[in-house]
Amino acid sequence: MEAAESEGTHEPTLEEVREHSRRKTLGIRAASAAVMIAIAVAVYWVLGDRGLDIIVGVVAVICFFELLFLIIKATDNIAFRLAGILAGAAYIGLAAVILIDFDIQSFYISLAVVILADTFAYVFGTLIGGPRIMPKVSPNKTWAGLLGGMFGGFLALTPLVYLSSRIMGVLDTQALLVAAIAGPALAIIALAGDLFESWLKRRAGVKDSSRLIPGHGGFLDRFDGLIPVAIVVGVLTTLAI
């Protein structure tokens, strides 16, 4: 009788539990992302560019308060806290100003680079695995994921530049070369922003910057890569002008 009960009861392995958790979280993440996208589209539809500016401003304020929370949790040193808060305000504030100042093409191109880099990094890291970049800071970030992210950055820029050149009737090889280099480079910059926030969360002893977005954590967890990418693109664009 005991043997029959034992055979009928299956104790899930740790890997099975993790896989179930990943699938459950993936559904929540997808639903949250769909809601956020729907809200952003609705606001932009009603208010146009002004609506986009409002979204950027609101997200920037939330990110700053989440960063403030992490800094306060990370250190008891008043001087370090003050320096971190001032640097964080400049960091997020500059990115917000640049994003608001962007034309619509630059805004969505920067967003596309970060999204595709993050997506391909996740796919490559999950399918290939391998050595981790900084296991003590972010155990899930692998070198395979980095290469995937760079490939995603390449895909975000290079085909777009190629199609634009074809539409204009002139194949701009120099622009293609710049795009082929800039895409992967921006993906690395996005990863650096991600790793910086992961390091800060480790110091603070928390998993997420907040729980405002179900399945995602906080707004800072979602936009940690876009912030440095926006700053770099904004600075380079200004210098090019």
Tens digit of each residue's pLDDT (9 = 90 or more) over 162-216: 887 777 777 678 888 988 999 999 999 999 999 999 999 999 999 899 888 776 7
Is this prediction's pTM over 0.85? Answer: no
Which residue range(s) make up the domain with 164? 14-240
Q: Read off the pLDDT of residues 92-121 as tens digits, 9 standing for 90 and up.
A: 999 999 999 988 788 888 888 998 898 888
On whether residue 127 sits in a domain, the answer given is yes
4 located within any domain: no
User: Is residue 6, in this structure, part of any structural domain at all?
Assistant: no
Q: Give 103-112 contacts, CB < 8 A, sequence gap 24+.
A: 104/49, 104/52, 106/233, 106/237, 107/52, 109/156, 109/157, 109/160, 110/186, 110/226, 110/229, 110/230, 110/233, 111/226, 112/156
Q: For residue 29, is it within any domain?
A: yes
The residues with which 39 forms a beta bridge, in sequence order, are none
Please check whether residue 22 lies inside any domain of the structure: yes
Report the number of distinct structural domains present in the chain: 1
CB proximity list for 181: less than 8 A, separation 6 or greater: none
In a domain, 1, yes or no: no
Assess if residue 9 is contained within a domain. no
Reference 81, options 204, 218, 171, 238; nearest CA is 204
Distance, in Å, from the CA atom of 140 to the CA atom of 211, rounded to the nearest integer, reads: 20
